[in-house]
A and B are shown apart, each in its own frame.
Chain A
Amino acid sequence: MNMTATGRVNLVAMAVLLFSMAGGMATLHAIDQLRRGSVAQEALYLRSSKVLRRLSLGYTGLLADIYWTRAVQYFGEQHHKGSGDFRLLAPLLEVTTELDPRLLPAYQFGANFLAPKPPNGAGLPGSALALMKYGIEHNPGQWRLYYNLGFLYYTELKDYAKAADAFAQGAELPVTNEFMPILAARMAQHAGEFDTARMLWFTTYQSTKDALVQENAVQHLRALQVDEDVTRLEQVVEKYREKTGRWPLSIGDLEREGFIHGTPADPNGRPYKLMPEGRIEVQDPKSLYFITKGLPPGAESPEPPRETEPNSKP
């Protein structure tokens, strides 16, 4: 078969094109293998949001979206590898939020990437806290950020008082979630700040028409009363012991010595039990949801049926 000169040139050109394309891709793959990790490292050279802001010529929103996507990809990749090295995560999130301080997902998910211990997260609760505070500073009207801050204090830092404070601040915003005061009260209860918790739960009860939320508030107020009663009674028992040099044998002993007036009872009307070594317990723990005190050793606070606990857990 005879081929024209043009045909031959076309054939050779096509062959060179395909060969070059395949060879180029293979070479690039080899370069990637050689420079593994260096692509992500480049983020460190461009971590100044001020420089990036100017380089973007004002198109900062798109650049922030790119950096956020990069942060997600970086976290996902390190997490997938089971690596404990998340050193670029905080800078990537910083650049993202400095380029677009209103990019809420970067705070909400970013804090959850940063705070947990490796391999589930970067193990940087301090950076997560700084990120959330920066987010709140620039988005003071977003209750979700206060929610995330409270969640962070609660789950990672175990600082119930600050968690309660964050939830309470979020609950005071004009646009908020009805569970914010519930969460605030719960945190305060964990922190032992009974008056704060009682006030918040009472406010929750008053500020909603939702029967489930009201029932939830009532249950927590009852639990709060138990926790406070048990705490107070155990203090009285300790005082009795200091005065008499022995543990009281019954609640009646406390009454006879004038430490208390009447027989104290839980919200269900059942008198509290005095246990060995001065512990106070409720008679029927299963009937009192959310209590943290007055439980038998090793027992956990019972949870209410799902219909009376409408997704109020953080």
Chain B
Amino acid sequence: MNSRIGYIAFNTFREAVRDRVLYNLVAFALLLSGAAILVGEISIDVERLVVVNLGLTAVSLFGVVIAIFIGIGLVSKEIDKRTLYTVLSRPVRRWEFVVGKFFGLTGTLVVNTFFMAVGVFLALLYVAHKFEKMDGWVLVALYFIVLQFLIVCALALFFSSFSTPLMSAVFTFALFVIGSLAEDLRGFAKITQGVAGGLATAIAYLVPNFSALNVISQVAHGDAIPGRLILYNSIYALLYSAMAISGAVLIFQRRNLK
């Protein structure tokens, strides 16, 4: 990464911290510690399952919300505050600005996820009194959640490169919902014939597949995640993010900022 991208990424991260984005960790900690203590009282024999399911679901949803609401403002905020012109008047290319913003936001989310992961493991230790070998797969689920953030950040940035913040949020959230139901969409495409079938198949492959990145239920039951799935999901997330960021760069390069 060149130093200009690094600076922009670091500043994006610093700005997110200054905007008190990491305050969500307090809500997360309260949610998880409350669940860990309460679940034994109100349910039967599912303490570990609840900690893993609730913890990872919260990590994922908190992160997606942050990715969307920070991501959609990354470009528009700089234009509104006219700081973009200051940045671009320096030897910083437009693509470096977009890529730097992307890395800054994903960096924020990785740090956020790290602290949440610590919280999940502490809650696990609280309910189970010890770590087990199968708890290691929770790390894989967390890694997949980070991959999910890469895609959401890239999409938010893509939409914000040409649309208003509100519409960018709507588009990104809609794609998150559709992508979470990607397997249903594929199933629908398979049973549909003709032009509609072709269109459904094209859409099914174009929208991000978040369902493959969601292995929360499996790791909650201690299932192993195949190495090939880890590899393919990593490649898929990187390629999809690269695709969306490239689209954002292409649009931003042509955008009239006057």
The residues of A with any CB-CB pair to B shorter than 8 Å are 54, 57-62, 64-65, 68-69, 72-73, 100, 102-105, 108-109
The reply to whether the CB of B211 lies closer than 8 angstroms to some CB of chain A is yes
Q: Would you call the interface of chain A mostly helix, strand, loop, or mixed?
A: helix
Among A61, A72, A105, point to the contact of B220 (Cβ < 8 A). Answer: A61
CA distance A45 to B184 in the complex (A): 22
CA distance A182 to B52 in the complex (A): 36
B164-207 CB contacts (< 8 Å) to partner A: 176-177, 180-181, 184
A-chain residues with CB within 8 Å of residue B43 when the two chains form the complex = 65, 68-69, 72
CA distance A100 to B216 in the complex (A): 11
Contact call B49/A57, Cβ cutoff below 8 A: no
Among B44, B46, B214, point to the contact of A59 (Cβ < 8 A). Answer: B214
A-chain residues with CB within 8 Å of residue B140 when the two chains form the complex = none
7 contacts between A and B (CB under 8 A): A57-B176, A58-B181, A59-B214, A59-B216, A61-B52, A65-B46, A108-B45
CA distance A105 to B53 in the complex (A): 15
Among A59, A69, A102, A103, point to the contact of B39 (Cβ < 8 A). Answer: A69
The reply to whether the CB of B120 lies closer than 8 angstroms to some CB of chain A is no
Contact call B46/A68, Cβ cutoff below 8 A: yes
Contact call A58/B54, Cβ cutoff below 8 A: no
A-chain residues with CB within 8 Å of residue B61 when the two chains form the complex = 59
A-chain residues with CB within 8 Å of residue B217 when the two chains form the complex = 60-61, 64, 100, 102
CA distance A64 to B217 in the complex (A): 10
Contact call B180/A69, Cβ cutoff below 8 A: no
Contact call A65/B45, Cβ cutoff below 8 A: no
Q: Would you call the interface of chain B mostly helix, strand, loop, or mixed?
A: helix
Question: How far apart are A122's CB and chain B's nearest CB, in angstroms?
Answer: 16
Which among A54, A59, A60, A103 has the highest number of chain B CB atoms within 10 Å? Answer: A59
A-chain residues with CB within 8 Å of residue B180 when the two chains form the complex = 57-58
A-chain residues with CB within 8 Å of residue B60 when the two chains form the complex = 59
Contact call B45/A105, Cβ cutoff below 8 A: yes
CA distance A105 to B177 in the complex (A): 30
CA distance A58 to B216 in the complex (A): 9
The reply to whether the CB of B1 lies closer than 8 angstroms to some CB of chain A is no
Question: How far apart are A25's CB and chain B's nearest CB, in angstroms?
Answer: 20
Among B42, B46, B52, B184, point to the contact of A105 (Cβ < 8 A). Answer: B46
Contact call A109/B177, Cβ cutoff below 8 A: no
Among B49, B176, B184, point to the contact of A61 (Cβ < 8 A). Answer: B49
B-chain residues with CB within 8 Å of residue A68 when the two chains form the complex = 43-44, 46
Evaluate whether A62 and B53 lie within 8 angstroms (CB atoms) in the complex, with A69-B46, A103-B46, A109-B44 already known. yes
Question: How far apart are A111's CB and chain B's nearest CB, in angstroms?
Answer: 13
Contact call A59/B57, Cβ cutoff below 8 A: yes
Of all chain A residues, the one with the shortest Cβ separation from B177 is A57
The reply to whether the CB of B147 lies closer than 8 angstroms to some CB of chain A is no
A-chain residues with CB within 8 Å of residue B221 when the two chains form the complex = 102
A-chain residues with CB within 8 Å of residue B50 when the two chains form the complex = 62, 65, 69
Question: How far apart are B121's CB and chain A's nearest CB, in angstroms?
Answer: 18
CA distance A59 to B216 in the complex (A): 7
Question: How far apart are B179's CB and chain A's nearest CB, in angstroms?
Answer: 9
A-chain residues with CB within 8 Å of residue B54 when the two chains form the complex = 62, 65
Contact call B57/A62, Cβ cutoff below 8 A: yes
B-chain residues with CB within 8 Å of residue A64 when the two chains form the complex = 53, 217
The reply to whether the CB of B158 lies closer than 8 angstroms to some CB of chain A is no
Of all chain A residues, the one with the shortest Cβ separation from B220 is A61
The reply to whether the CB of B240 lies closer than 8 angstroms to some CB of chain A is no
Of all chain B residues, the one with the shortest Cβ separation from A100 is B217
The reply to whether the CB of B210 lies closer than 8 angstroms to some CB of chain A is yes
CA distance A54 to B54 in the complex (A): 18
A-chain residues with CB within 8 Å of residue B42 when the two chains form the complex = 69, 72-73
Scoring B residues 32 to 61 as 1 if CB is less than 8 Å from chain A, else 0, what string do you get? 000000010011111001101110010011
Contact call B46/A109, Cβ cutoff below 8 A: no
Of all chain A residues, the one with the shortest Cβ separation from B54 is A62
CA distance A181 to B42 in the complex (A): 35
Contact call B46/A54, Cβ cutoff below 8 A: no
CA distance A126 to B153 in the complex (A): 50
Contact call A61/B46, Cβ cutoff below 8 A: no
B-chain residues with CB within 8 Å of residue A100 when the two chains form the complex = 217
Contact call A72/B44, Cβ cutoff below 8 A: yes
